[in-house]
Structures are given as C-alpha cells and as structure tokens.
Structure 1
C-alpha cells in the first residue's frame, strides 16, 4: 500500500472500515499514548463495547486491566504491550492473560504483536496493537498440561522437527532419576529412549512417518549408571502447533520383582507341599476335583497318583462316611476353613484309619481351591476307645457313676478337636430328652420305664433313637455327650446320693 493512501483522511476511514471487519483485534494509538481507535474484535476481547471503556490512554488502560504472563506472574505496568508499543518497540506473539480489574472472574488470553506506522519520511506516525483471542487454545493447553503433569504414567514429548524433548512429567523423572533440565532440550541421540527396544527399526520408521509406535520392551539408560527395563509406546500429537510424539512408559521393575517374589513363594510352597510327611490334598472348590496330592498322601492311603489326580473326592471315596464328606465341604464352603475335624478315611485296600482333617481355601491359578491336611489319629482313637470300653466293662450299671468319674470320662472322651456341626439338644423330642435325662441319672431301662410309665420296649426304642441322633454307641458316651454340653448338671448323682 502506498504512503499516499495513508495520508488522506478518506482513505484512512476506508482502511478503518476494512480493519473493523477483521477477526483480529486492532487498537490504534497516537504517539502520545492516546487511544484513538479500536475495532469491534478488540473491544470484544476486553469485554467492552466502546473505545472509552478501554481508557483514554495507555496509563488508564493499565488501571482498568490486569495482565499476567502464562506462568502466572503479573506483567509490570511498564511491560504492558500497550506501553511497549508506545515506546516504539517491535514484538510479536506475546502471550498475556487479560482480566478486568473490576471483575476478576473474567479472563481472556491474547497473543499480541506490535506495528509502527510511519509517514513518508519514515518517521513514526501511529502505533498499532494487533491481538488474537487464544483463550480457548490456552484453556485446552492448560488442561493438557495439568493432565500430562498429573499423569502417574512416565511420559515425555519429543518435537519431531529436531527430535528434541520439550516436555517431561514427574513420573518419568521419578522412574529414571533424571533432573528436568537433563531431559528438556536433549535430543533423542543424547537420551535414547528406544535403546535396546525389541523392535527398534520399526519404532524409528514409525517415528519418521509420524505414526503410532506400538508397545515394545526397551532398556532405558539411567543417569547414575545402569539401566531399567520398560515398556514404551509412542503416539503422534500436535503441541504448540508443532508435530510431536508423546512417549509413555511402563516400569517393568515392580512387575519383575513381583514375578520373582511369586515364583519364590510358589517354589517354597511346592517344596513344603512335597516334603511334608503329613498327607495333603488340593482340590478345586467348585467340584472337588483333585489337582494335586503329596507323596505322603499316596503312601498313607496306598493310592497311585493316576487314580487320584483329576478325580473328584467323591469318586476316590476315601472319606468313609458320605455324610461326613458332605458336611466337611459344606462347612468349607460356608466358612472357608475348618480345623481338626475327625473323619474316617478308607485306604485303597479298604483298611480304615481315623484322621483329623484341617482345611483352608487357597487361590491357585486365579481359582479358589481347598487345601486339605490329614493327620492320622488312629492310634490315639484306639487308645481312647479301649479306655472307654474298659470303663464300660466294669460299670454295666451306670448308677454308681460319681461326678468325678463322669468328669474324668468326659475329659478322656474329649479329644480337644472341633467337630463339624452336629445335632443339638433341641433336636431331640421332649420324650427323648426325658430318657436322656434319666440315663444321666444312672437309671437302667426298666427303671426309666417305671419312672415314665412306659413299656420297656418303648424305652429301648427311645434309647436307640437318642444314640442314633447323638452319634453315640453306649450309655457312658451319652452321659459324656450331655456332660460336655453342661446338661442335667444338677442330676449327676449316684443312687446312694438320691
């Protein structure tokens, strides 16, 4: 445009009309810093509708609008773009946040550049500020910045034009031990994040093509020496209007340590499982399919492994009483564990042994399983039964039982081992309770019949039913059963005491 056009008032008005329709904001100042004109875009970028609301001059403008740099530091008044252009400075792409001093909730981000218009002689005639509203862009950048820095996953951003790192987050610095200034500005040749990558050629090719780099293992050199195994992936993006690559990482070291710890734990468990002299069985919780047994199990029950592994506990049928087996697994399903439950166990040759079974729930290959430990208590049970039998032999008539002897017999009978849920006193009928009470008094069947005015055969049937429900086999065991539960405590007396 010729200087003649700018000298005429008519052409100046026409130029203002052209500028008024631009999306860029334009503010024109006289050399004495007086604001003489602004287009609608400039007014809108300040939230005003008239030139006077911007202020009469640069000094009033500075009192009506507070400016901050993007790093949140306030702009000194003398460094306001409107002050700088008034001094005749030439600048471009100055980013400032603009807030009205009377309304701090409103904010715009301006990208400002200056222009000095001269006359024919080349002397300054007018001063111009040209600004773009980049608020939306700045907001998106701020959100990205916060997300990038807050992301715990280690990451760096590499500018593709010169392959230099322009951003790094705290996750990467913590993972590697680098300082921020050791990364920012460094090139990929100085800090090769793809070193040792299993598909390095592919990664470099994708980097040149500005294409996604798939996940792959790599080795990062650390500033203090040594290296770290990582998973690295690259995603192209545009940052500050430049083509970049976002590299994200996964530290493999915690996973590696966890895998080593798990492997060591599994090895210790396997050794203990194999070498323990007590029979142990592992089965699936869902269907009780046997997954593994130790050598002690095979030796004790005389089974070969092929007749056990892959079969269900019911198919092997080594627990003699099907009802006890059902109660055992029902208790396991409900409580997750049982402790020292007495069960009868059948060896392959049909020989019976007594075992105290403890069991717990474990996770194997992400599936719930039951771990059963069998303790052979056959000899102990035999000793106890022989003692009880000897006592029963010498006391055909239980009427002479003293309280002390009953308590000692109860202690002998009690093997101090929790049992599966069994029948309670309330499961007996009223008549069966009466019969049990009189048994505990030491009465014989005929005496019970007389006391209850029942036929002897009826009493014998009631006694048999009581034995069956209590899972006992003699009067002495019935008395011990009642004694263990504190029943009829006032009735433990001999005939002589009555």
Structure 2
C-alpha cells in the first residue's frame, strides 16, 4: 500500500470515528460511486443494521428502495441522491419519502443533503447526510389545522416567487376576499406589506427571507378600500420550501371599538354632569369620591372640586359603611333611605341607589340620591293624622279623606307613572277602595270577590310598593293621585249572538 493510500485510509478512519455517533444519518461514497460506509443512524433510517443491505452501489440502492417527493411524485433514477453524489453533483436539502420495496408498510420521511469534499492531501469525500423527519408531515397537518381555524388573519407565501399558497378564514373575513382571489397571487399584487414609512425596509427583508417585526400598514379590501393593520412576517418551512407567514392584527375593529367606547364615555359624562338628581362616582373599595355632578355639589353646598378624593361619608352621606359592605357582596342598592348632611348643617332625606360599575377597566361605584325631604315631611304629617283617626275606626269616610288630603299639596313630580304601572288594574281598584276607607270585607263585597282573594291582592300591593301597613299604602296612593274616586274601569259585556 502506497503512502498516499495509507494516508487516505487513515483520513477515512478518522472521519468515520468522528461521524459514527452522530444523530444524522451519514453515508460515504467512493469516487467510483461504491457505498463505502454508513453510520448506525443511516442504517437504522433504512430499517437495517447491515451495510450490504443498502445495495453497495447507487443502482443496487434503487433496487431495494423507492424515493418519492413530498407531493408523491417518483424520483427519476438518475436523480436519486446517491446517483447525483456519485456524479460529483452536490445538492442542498431535498424532502423525500423513503420506502423499502420488500416491506409495503415501511415509510420514512427524510431530508437529504449531498457534499463533495476534498482535503489538502487530495482525499475525495462524497458524503450523503440524512435527517429523519418522519413526524414532520403530522406536524404539518397540525399546522394546517391550526392555521385554518385560527381567527387571526394570516397568509403564507413562497419565498421563491412570493406566491400565496395558504390563506385562512380570518384574512378572508378581514378583506372580504374569496379564497380563489388570494391563492396563487403574489405578495406584491395583494400588497401584503402596504402602507407605512418602513414599507421599503419590510419588502427588502421579505426578499431576503428575513423576519419582519411588527409594523403598522394597510391591506387592500375586496371593495377597494384600505384596512389598517399591524403586520408581522415570520420565515417558515413548508414541504421543504422556504415560505413567509404573514399575520395581521385588524386595527379597524379595534378603532371602531375604541371610538364606540369614547362615544359611550362622552354620553355617560354628559348625562352624569347634567342629571338633575345628585350623583357621585366613587372608588369601589373605600368609596373615595372620584367625581360628582353639579346637582350633588349644590345639594351639599360645596364646589365639585372640593369633593374629589374625599370619602363619601365625610361629604355628609350617612350609612356609607353598610352600603359599602353590601356592594362588596355584589348587591345592588335600590331606594334605600339615608340622610345627606349639608355643609351648612342642614339635613336632606334621600332615597339612595348605588351599583358597582367598571369604567376604564377599574371597579367603581355609581350612586344617585333623590331628595325626598319635603315628601317625607308631608307623609309624616299625613301618617300621623291617619293613625290618629284609625284609633277610633278602621274605615274612612270620603269627607275625612278629603280633609286629610288638604294636609299636603303633592308636587306633580312625585306622582311617578312608572310606580303606578307596576300595579294591575284590579290592584288599583283594590287600592282605590282602601283609600275610600273600605276594609277587606267591604272591598270583597264591592268587587264581588272572596275575602281571601282580597287579602292576596292587598299583600301583593304591599310588596310592590314597599309598605307594610294600610295607612302607609293610603299615603303612597294619595301621593300619586289615587283617591278611589277615579272613573271606574269599563268592562264590556259579551253580547248574545
């Protein structure tokens, strides 16, 4: 053996010792095309542990194994990787399906690359590198499924010709396009990177296959308009082809939402400021005042600016601790009686309603106060008079009712139509007879009902108007203009046919 042959043999043994333990499959060819050696990974990838099972030569390999492309087209004989390598033709990555002719169920998905190397001593190395990607088609199937169902608008383009090869429903919905109008079109034709001062830089990165960071731009809609977006480009590999995945954040929907939120906030602010009843907006936890309307500032006698940052209790509203505890439990406060002490030392009787709300993402409390000071005073006087009369009799004559009605002059604003609307026609009849001084028996006789039915109506009336005594019900009715002397409800009798 000559010195050159000895050196070549030594180099090959050294090379084999280096690559024997690599995870990648490695096959070495002699310059004449003979398969000289393969590591364990390459043999295992071919379903064997013996070198001779590879066929010794490219033609022997073709007799034992079939190669197809990922699109299932059979690779021509002279285009097999070993044949190309034997012809000293190096090549970059090929995505192939590998099958054994003696085993119909054997299938491997491989990525293959060929290298033709020479060292300084003239040694010739022809190396076939194989990567096992058997699980990758399944991953690609998962990608297709996730890509199609993802609501984020997205498009995939080949980098080779920038043609669109995939588009999801989110992109079609955003642009109003059809799938046929997008697939096969170029990124330039679709203007996938339209708008923005950095468009030129983004296109340059696309042409180089580099990632495109988030940028504001526009995409064309099918109706010819522009849709504002934030676009991102990410290089990916699909079926062995370099591609670019474009994803978009639809700014039009966000802009419409933000505009609607601003309009709602402006409407709320205007309604809050101009409301005729005192209103206050507080922090949800400790009822610190964030904003008050003009009616509240006038009611307590201080400026609106003075109220900001003050606990609601220090602004004069009594029973704040109980209300705060109820609100923390998620309860709503409706028409709860409370006192509001003014800066001058006076006191207003109020009905307070409050509810937890979220404004600007922060939990807050909106409270409204209805001043019932005059009504309370009139009701107290009327209730005292009624209870005095009821000590002697359980019914009122019309003359007594009329005299009691003269004790007050109810303002039309207190006659709440909405309050009356909650009563049925029958319940209003029962309430009117109560105002005339009839007891349950008298009401039953007048309306031709049983006594139990009348009692049920009375109980329902108490529940609906929030009272517990007959005298309080009469006060409530008188406050809303019910005396029992209104025109009776007309009942049409069926005519005999």
Alignment TM-score > 0.5, same fold? yes
Q: CA RMSD, aligned part only?
A: 5.4
Which residue number in structure 1 is paired with residue 370 of structure 2?
A: 375
* Cα pair 2:70 2:239 within 8 Å, conserved: no
Which residue number in structure 2 is paired with residue 326 of structure 1?
A: 321
CA distance in 1, matches of 2:331, 2:35: 83
1:287-326 map, 5 Å: 287-317=286-316, 319=317, 321=318, 324-326=319-321
Which residue number in structure 2 is paired with residue 109 of structure 1?
A: 110
What number of residue pairs does the alignment pair up? 365
Shift of 1:250: 1.0
Could you report, residue by residue, the CA deviation over 1:177-216 in whole angstroms, capped at 9, with x for unpaired residues?
Answer: 4555655664443232232114334435655776554322
Check 1:336–1:386 CA distance in 2 against 1; reply closer, same or farther (3 A cut): same
Check 1:177–1:99 CA distance in 2 against 1; reply closer, same or farther (3 A cut): farther
* Cα pair 1:279 1:375 within 8 Å, conserved: yes
Check 1:304–1:24 CA distance in 2 against 1; reply closer, same or farther (3 A cut): closer
Shift of 1:380: 3.0
Shift of 1:103: 8.0
Which residue number in structure 1 is paired with residue 139 of structure 2?
A: 143
Which residue number in structure 1 is paired with residue 70 of structure 2?
A: 70
Which residue number in structure 2 is paired with residue 363 of structure 1?
A: 358
CA distance in 1, matches of 2:96, 2:371: 84
Shift of 1:329: 1.9
CA distance in 2, matches of 1:277, 1:285: 24
Shift of 1:371: 0.7
1:173-322 map, 5 Å: 173-178=172-177, 183=182, 186-204=185-203, 206-207=205-206, 212-235=211-234, 245-317=244-316, 319=317, 321=318
Check 1:184–1:135 CA distance in 2 against 1; reply closer, same or farther (3 A cut): farther
Q: Given the two structures, how large is their TM-score scaled by the length of structure 2?
A: 0.56
**Over alpha carbons, which structure has the higher Rg?**
1
Q: Does 1:133 align with 2:134?
A: no
Check 1:50–1:385 CA distance in 2 against 1; reply closer, same or farther (3 A cut): same
Check 1:254–1:210 CA distance in 2 against 1; reply closer, same or farther (3 A cut): same
Q: Secondary structure at the match of 1:335?
A: coil
Shift of 1:360: 0.5
Point out where structure 2 has 5 or more consecutive residues left out of the alignment.
1-8, 20-24, 115-126, 397-467, 474-497
Could you report, residue by residue, the CA deviation over 1:228-275 in whole angstroms, capped at 9, with x for unpaired residues?
Answer: 110013345677787765433211122122112222322332333234
CA distance in 1, matches of 2:26, 2:98: 16
Check 1:392–1:247 CA distance in 2 against 1; reply closer, same or farther (3 A cut): closer
**Quick check: 196-205 or 215-224, which moved more?**
196-205
CA distance in 1, matches of 2:204, 2:29: 49
Q: Given the two structures, how large is their TM-score scaled by the length of structure 1?
A: 0.56
* Cα pair 1:81 1:112 within 8 Å, conserved: no
Point out where structure 1 has 5 or more consecutive residues left out of the alignment.
1-13, 29-35, 114-129, 406-478, 485-498
Which residue number in structure 1 is paired with residue 162 of structure 2?
A: 164
Could you report, residue by residue, the CA deviation over 1:118-163 in whole angstroms, capped at 9, with x for unpaired residues?
Answer: xxxxxxxxxxxx9763433x64576367437624233345566x66
